């Protein structure tokens, strides 16, 4: 029998919280505590997160998240789909960073297939991923500020987010669930007016980020609500599986883009913002810095955008060019085969990791040599980060729970899948 983890890192369940509260209330001479239910319809829980808290006055004694309200069985659905048909499903896992999910999935399948991806497709993927990161951080900043009570920032953030969504629409026809990446490349060449539009956006964006900082960073209420709230040490963050900006805000210098590069990230120059404070304020500053860095990566990607093909040279995997399909017998056969029976992927298993806006994302794809995956599992950053919520909130005020939930930037779609 195994020994149990040290008590400060035990993550209680709902039953534990309620049982403890009952025990405390019967304790003669002890403090009277009460159980508070928060959610699943609470606006500051960013979706359908339900928390069960034991509180002593306004102090949180313990806390347990209840998840699963959005569980749709995406992993089960994946097992019934061809490999290419899964890309639109991955979009819907983390609906605020669809392109990151797509990238992680297609990189995993491409590693199973051992495909070589052309440089132009890789650069387009990096560009789209960094725009996704800015877009996702804008939603985080807007909603986080709104939770604290600063309503104005939300409107500004969504103004810029709308610009990015227009760029996505221009590229793929879809504002949010773009399904732009394909196994073997990307789906289509961007239209000509895409380039000036992105250039223009990247020119104005640093000024806009500065504008948000001016609205918030000097505000004494904002500082008072964030500084010293929800501290998390580096050791606890690693032990509880926290990743992304919360991990870097706790002083662990780890970024998948730099440390285990994928899709050509080793060719870009960027800084990884790190803070050693570990509180909600540190997470705020780390994400703000990350937006500036993402703009820099986008500019580099635009500058180095190579010419060439946007799909790999693999006619049995990538759908043929429309014009070729109508004029060449071979292409028509390939098209028919790919659409009707998919493409077989060699047997094997891969765990593909990338840095999503929320942290370390991993896709575990197991193939048995057929055209449908035997298993497709998603390791999503929010799921692990939620485990650390108790450690961050214990012994703190109830009002700070809302600030902490905002600062870890969870998306319930990817927790529940």
Partner 1 sequence: MTPALLTPEAIEEAQPGNPAVAALRSFAERMKWDRNELTVTIAASNIVAAAAATKAAGYNYLMDVTAVDWYPSEPRFQVSYHVLSISTKKLMRLAVMLSGEDPSVDTVTSVWPSANYYEREVFDLFGIRFAGHPNMTRIMMPTDWKGHPLRKDYPVEGYR
Minimum distance, C-beta of residue 67 to partner 1, in the bound complex (Å): 7
325's enclosing H/E stretch is helix 322-327
DSSP 299-352: HHHHHH---S-SB-S-TTTSPPPHHHHHH-HHHHHHHHHHHHH-----SEEEEE
Q: Which residue has the tokens 């998840």?
A: 67
Minimum distance, C-beta of residue 324 to partner 1, in the bound complex (Å): 27
CA distance 367 to 79: 10
* Cβ neighbours of 27 (radius 10 Å): 11
Minimum distance, C-beta of residue 88 to partner 1, in the bound complex (Å): 19
Q: Which residue has the tokens 């060439």?
A: 308
Nearer to partner 1 among residue 10 and residue 204 (C-beta): 10
Nearer to partner 1 among residue 198 and residue 232 (C-beta): 232
Minimum distance, C-beta of residue 377 to partner 1, in the bound complex (Å): 5
Nearest CA to 79 among 393, 401, 365? Answer: 365
Minimum distance, C-beta of residue 362 to partner 1, in the bound complex (Å): 6
Nearer to partner 1 among residue 294 and residue 352 (C-beta): 352
CA distance 283 to 256: 18
Question: And the tokens for 260?
Answer: 């285990």
Nearer to partner 1 among residue 103 and residue 378 (C-beta): 378
Nearer to partner 1 among residue 190 and residue 373 (C-beta): 373
Nearer to partner 1 among residue 67 and residue 153 (C-beta): 67
Minimum distance, C-beta of residue 272 to partner 1, in the bound complex (Å): 13
Angle, helices 151-172/119-148, rounded to nearest 10 degrees = 160
Torsion of CA 238, 407, 266, 191, to 10 degrees: 150
240's enclosing H/E stretch is none
Nearer to partner 1 among residue 262 and residue 268 (C-beta): 262
Nearer to partner 1 among residue 224 and residue 369 (C-beta): 369
Minimum distance, C-beta of residue 339 to partner 1, in the bound complex (Å): 23
Question: And the tokens for 115?
Answer: 């495909």
CA distance 257 to 313: 26
Minimum distance, C-beta of residue 134 to partner 1, in the bound complex (Å): 25
CA distance 106 to 90: 10
Question: And the tokens for 29?
Answer: 């001479």
Question: Which stretches of the chain bind partner 1, using CB under 8 A?
Answer: 1-6, 9-13, 15-16, 67-68, 71, 73, 75-76, 80, 111-112, 114, 238-241, 252, 254, 259-260, 346, 348-351, 353, 360, 362, 364, 366, 374-375, 377, 379, 383-384, 386-387, 416-417
């Amino acid at each position: 029998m195994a020994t149990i983890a040290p008590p400060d890192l035990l993550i209680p369940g709902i039953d534990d919280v309620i049982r403890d509260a009952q025990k405390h209330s019967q304790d003669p001479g002890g403090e009277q505590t009460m159980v508070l239910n928060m959610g699943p319809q609470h606006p500051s829980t960013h979706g359908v997160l339900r928390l069960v808290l034991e509180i002593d006055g306004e102090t949180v004694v313990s806390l347990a998240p209840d998840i699963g309200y959005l569980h749709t069985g995406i992993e089960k659905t994946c097992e019934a789909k061809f490999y290419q048909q899964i890309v639109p499903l991955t979009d819907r896992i983390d609906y605020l960073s669809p392109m990151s999910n797509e990238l992680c999935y297609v990189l995993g399948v491409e590693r199973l297939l051992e495909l070589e991806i052309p440089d132009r497709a890789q650069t387009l993927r990096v560009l789209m991923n960094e725009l996704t990161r800015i877009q996702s951080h804008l939603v985080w900043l807007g909603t986080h500020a709104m939770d604290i009570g600063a309503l104005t920032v939300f409107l500004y953030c969504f103004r810029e987010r709308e610009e990015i969504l227009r760029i996505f629409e221009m590229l793929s026809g879809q504002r949010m669930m773009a399904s732009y990446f394909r196994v073997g490349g990307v789906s289509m060449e961007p239209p000509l007016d895409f380039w000036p539009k992105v250039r223009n956006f990247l020119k104005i964006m640093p000024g806009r980020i500065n504008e948000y900082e001016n609205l918030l960073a000097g505000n004494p209420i904002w500082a008072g609500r964030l500084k010293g709230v929800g501290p998390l040490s580096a050791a606890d963050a690693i032990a509880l599986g926290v990743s992304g900006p919360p991990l870097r805000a706790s002083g662990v210098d780890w970024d998948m883009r730099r440390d285990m590069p994928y899709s050509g990230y080793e060719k870009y120059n960027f800084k990884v913002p790190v803070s050693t404070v570990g509180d909600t304020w540190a997470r705020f500053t780390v994400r703000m810095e990350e937006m500036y860095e993402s703009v820099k990566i986008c500019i580099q990607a635009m500058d180095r955008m190579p010419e060439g093909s946007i799909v790999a040279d693999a006619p049995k995997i990538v759908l043929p060019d429309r014009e070729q399909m109508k004029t060449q017998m071979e292409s028509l056969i390939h098209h028919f085969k790919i659409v009707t029976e998919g493409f077989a992927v060699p047997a094997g298993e891969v765990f593909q990791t990338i840095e999503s806006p929320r942290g370390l994302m991993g896709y575990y794809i197991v193939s048995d040599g057929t055209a449908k995956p035997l298993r497709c599992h998603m390791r999503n950053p929010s799921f692990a980060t939620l485990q650390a919520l108790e450690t961050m909130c214990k012994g703190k005020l109830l009002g700070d729970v809302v600030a902490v939930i905002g600062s870890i930037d969870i998306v319930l779609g990817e927790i529940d899948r």
